[in-house]
Amino acid sequence: MFEASKRLQKLPAYLFAEMDRKKKRLISEGMDIIDFGIGDPDLPTPANVIEAMKKGIENPIFHKYPLGKGTYAFRKAIADYYRQHNDVELNMDEEIVVLIGSKEGIAHLPWALLNAGDVSLVPEPGYPVYHIGTILAEGMPFFLPLKKENQFLPDFGEIPDDILSKTKILYLNYPNNPTSAFADKDFLIDTIDFCKKRNILLAYDAAYSEIYFGEKPVSFLSLPGAKDIGIEFHSLSKTYNMTGWRVGWACGNKDIIAALAKIKENIDSGTFEAIQFAGIEALTGKQDNISELREIYRRRMGILVDSLKEAGFDVAMPEGTFYCWVKIQGGSIETAGHLLEKIGIVATPGVGFGPSGEGYLRFSVTVPEEKIKEGVRRIKEWLKK
C-alpha cells in the first residue's frame, strides 16, 4: 500500500461526497432530481465556435505541442478583447499566458510565488482552489470572512500584522462565487493601494465577469496601478459555455505572468492549439450568444428569487453570476440533505465554501425555467408540511 504525501493529506475532505452518493442512490431508485448544485452551464457552446474547432482539429499544424505562452493569434485575440471590452492595453508577449482553464493557473500560481510558510489571503466562502493551491505549494492560507453586512467584501483591517508580514498573495473573485456579490470601484482602488503598500500580489479571478444583469462589473485591470501588483484570471468557460474545453488565461503584471509561464513550461505543455484556434472565434466572432445567455440567466434568476421570496426566504436578486446565495434557518448540510432526500432538490451547502458560508445554500440557475418552477413548487409544498 502506498500512502498519499503529507501535502495531499493536508487537503480538506471533500464535503459534498456524502451528498453525491445520496444523489446517485436516489437517481438509481428512480427519483426525479432537480440539480441546482452544479456550477456548469447547461447551455451549448456557440455553433460558430464548434465550427472553428472542426476546422482546427483537421489542421496538422495544431497537432503538435502547443507553443509557450499560447499561440500568437489567440494572445492577440485576448489583447484585442481587453482593449475593446475593458479599456486595458496588454502586451501580448509579456502580459498574457494561456491556461488549461483558469483553475489550472489559479492552482499553479502559489507554486510560482510562494515559499514554504508564506501566506495567501483567501476569501471564504470562496472557490476552494485558492486555498488548495496554497496548501499544495506548502504555503499557509489565511481566511478572510465575507460577510453580508460588508456586502461580502473582505475587511483587510482584521488581518493581524504578523500574518500581513508573511503575505505574498491575495485572491479576490468578483462577481463572486458563491455569494454572487460584485466589488465596486472604490473597494478595488483601496485594495490596489493596500497591496502596493505591503508588496502583495493580487490574483483577481474574473471567471464570471461577463455574467451580469445590469451594469458591467468593474474590470480590475482597468484601474490605475492594477498591473503593478496584479493579474487577472479569465476563462471562456462561463461566457461561452465551454467548461469542458479547458481554456482560459492569466493577464497583467509581466513578472507574475513570466513566473506562472515558467511553472507551466515545466509541468504541462499548454492548451491544445485547435482549442486556442476555436477560442479566437469565441472572442472575435459574433457575440450575440452572450446577451442571450445573460437574458436567460436573468429570467431564470428572477423566477427563482421571486418564488423563494414568496416562500419566505431572505434573498435578493443578484447583479450577476448564475448563483443565488440563500439564507436559511438550519445548518446547511442538514438542510441540503433534507431537500435532497425528501423532495429531490440538490442545492450546495454553503459551509462547503468555508465556515462563513454556514447558514446559506447556493442555488445555481444552470437548469431550465420549467425545472426551476417545479423545484420551487416542491420547496413551497415541503415548507407547508
Single residue of 23, 69, 75, 103 touching ligand PLP by CB under 6 A: 103
CA 319, 328, 312 angle in degrees (round to 5)?
80
Q: Which is nearer to ligand PLP, 307 or 366 (CB)?
A: 366
Alpha carbon distance 90, 94 (integer Å): 8
Q: Which is nearer to ligand PLP, 62 or 171 (CB)?
A: 171
Q: Are strands 360-364 and 348-349 parallel, antiparallel or unpaired?
A: antiparallel
| Span of 75-83, 95-103, 150-158, 293-301 interacting with ligand PLP by CB under 6 A | 95-103
Single residue of 71, 134, 177, 191 touching ligand PLP by CB under 6 A: 177
Q: Which is nearer to ligand PLP, 180 or 191 (CB)?
A: 180
Residues 376 and 304 sit within 8 Å (Cβ to Cβ):
yes
The least CB distance from residue 179 to ligand PLP, in Å, is: 11
Q: Which is nearer to ligand PLP, 170 or 376 (CB)?
A: 170
The least CB distance from residue 133 to ligand PLP, in Å, is: 11
Number of residues this chain uses to bind ligand PLP (CB under 6 A):
13
Q: Are strands 230-235 and 248-252 parallel, antiparallel or unpaired?
A: antiparallel
Alpha carbon distance 368, 384 (integer Å): 25
The least CB distance from residue 123 to ligand PLP, in Å, is: 10
For 52, 67, 159, 270, the CA distances from 64, given in Å and listed in that order, are 18, 9, 47, 11
* Residue 244 three-state SS: helix
Binding string, 189-208, against ligand PLP, x = CB under 6 A?
----------------x-x-
Q: How is residue 301 written as a grid cell?
A: 434568476
Q: How is residue 325 written as a grid cell?
A: 446565495
Single residue of 45, 71, 86, 102 touching ligand PLP by CB under 6 A: 102
127 binds ligand PLP (CB under 6 A): yes
| Span of 97-105, 112-120, 267-275, 345-353 interacting with ligand PLP by CB under 6 A | 97-105
Contacts of 28 (CB under 8 A, 6+ apart): none
DSSP 321: S
Q: Which is nearer to ligand PLP, 205 or 379 (CB)?
A: 205
Alpha carbon distance 50, 29 (integer Å): 36
Alpha carbon distance 163, 119 (integer Å): 7
The least CB distance from residue 98 to ligand PLP, in Å, is: 11
The least CB distance from residue 28 to ligand PLP, in Å, is: 27
Q: Pick from 344, 301, 303: which is nearest to 323 by CA?
A: 301
| Span of 87-95, 101-109, 131-139, 292-300 interacting with ligand PLP by CB under 6 A | 101-109
Q: How is residue 168 written as a grid cell?
A: 505574498
Alpha carbon distance 113, 111 (integer Å): 6
321 binds ligand PLP (CB under 6 A): no
Q: How is residue 322 written as a grid cell?
A: 448564475
Q: Which is nearer to ligand PLP, 132 or 379 (CB)?
A: 132
| Span of 100-108, 135-143, 282-290, 374-382 interacting with ligand PLP by CB under 6 A | 100-108
For 121, 137, 138, 243, 317, the CA distances from 322, given in Å and listed in that order, are 25, 31, 33, 14, 11
243 binds ligand PLP (CB under 6 A): yes
The least CB distance from residue 235 to ligand PLP, in Å, is: 3
Binding string, 32-71, against ligand PLP, x = CB under 6 A?
-------x--------------------------------
Binding string, 247-286, against ligand PLP, x = CB under 6 A?
-x--------------------------------------
**Burial class of residue 134 in the structure, from the number of CB atoms within 10 Å of its CB (0-12 exposed, 13-18 middle, 19+ buried):** buried
DSSP 348: E
Binding residues for ligand PLP, rule: CB under 6 A, are 39, 101-103, 127, 173, 177, 205, 207, 235, 237, 243, 248
